[in-house]
A and B are shown apart, each in its own frame.
Chain A
Amino acid sequence: MSVPRYWRKQLNRYNLKGSKCETCGRHFFPPRGLCPECRRDGKIVDCEFSGNGTVRTFSIIRTASSDYDIQTPYPLAIIELDEGTCMTAQVICEPEEIHIGMKVKRVFRRIIAEGNGGVIVYGTKFVPA
Chain B
Amino acid sequence: MVGIITYGAYIPRYRIKTEEIARVWGANGAEIAAGLGVKEKSVPDLDEDTITMSVEAARSALARRDIPRDAIGAIYVGSESHPYAVKPSSATVGEAICATPVMTAADYEFACKAGTAAIQTCMGLVKSGMVKYGCAIGADTAQGAPGDALEYTASAGGAAFFIGNDNPIAEINHTCSYTSDTPDFWRREGQTYPSHGGRFSGDPAYFKHVQGAAHLMMEQMGTTPSDYDYAIFHQPNAKFPRKVAAMLGFTSTQIKPGLAVPRLGNTYSGAVPIGISATLDIAKPGDHIFVTSYGSGAGSDAFDITVTDAIESDVFNRSAAPTVEELLANGKYLDYALYAKHKGKIVMQ
- A to B CB contacts below 8 Å, 27 in the list: A15-B96, A15-B98, A69-B348, A70-B341, A70-B348, A71-B46, A71-B47, A92-B45, A92-B47, A107-B56, A108-B55, A108-B56, A108-B59, A108-B96, A110-B47, A110-B48, A110-B49, A110-B52, A111-B47, A120-B49, A120-B83, A120-B84, A122-B52, A122-B55, A122-B92, A122-B96, A125-B47
Q: How many residues of B contact A (CB 8 A)?
A: 18
Chain A residues near B (Cβ < 8 Å): 10-11, 14-15, 66, 69-71, 92, 107-111, 120, 122, 125
Interface residues of B in 160-202 (CB under 8 A from A): none
Closest chain-A Cβ to B16's Cβ sits at a distance in Å of 17
Interface residues of B in 72-91 (CB under 8 A from A): 83-84
Question: Which of chain B's residues has its CB closest to A48's CB?
Answer: B98
Residues from chain B with Cβ under 8 Å of A14 in the complex: 95-96
Which 10 A-B pairs have CB atoms at the shortest separation, nearest pair first?
Answer: A108-B55, A110-B47, A109-B47, A14-B96, A108-B52, A109-B52, A71-B46, A70-B348, A120-B83, A108-B96
Report the separation of the CA atoms of residues A70 and B47 in the bound assembly, to the nearest whole angstrom: 10
Asked whether B51 is an interface residue with its Cβ less than 8 Å from the other chain, the reply is: yes
Are the CB atoms of A10 and B95 closer together than 8 Å?
yes
Closest chain-A Cβ to B223's Cβ sits at a distance in Å of 40
Residues from chain B with Cβ under 8 Å of A66 in the complex: 348
Residues from chain A with Cβ under 8 Å of B49 in the complex: 110, 120
Closest chain-A Cβ to B14's Cβ sits at a distance in Å of 11
Closest chain-B Cβ to A49's Cβ sits at a distance in Å of 13
Report the separation of the CA atoms of residues A15 and B119 in the bound assembly, to the nearest whole angstrom: 26
Closest chain-A Cβ to B90's Cβ sits at a distance in Å of 13
Question: Which of chain A's residues has its CB closest to B95's CB?
Answer: A14
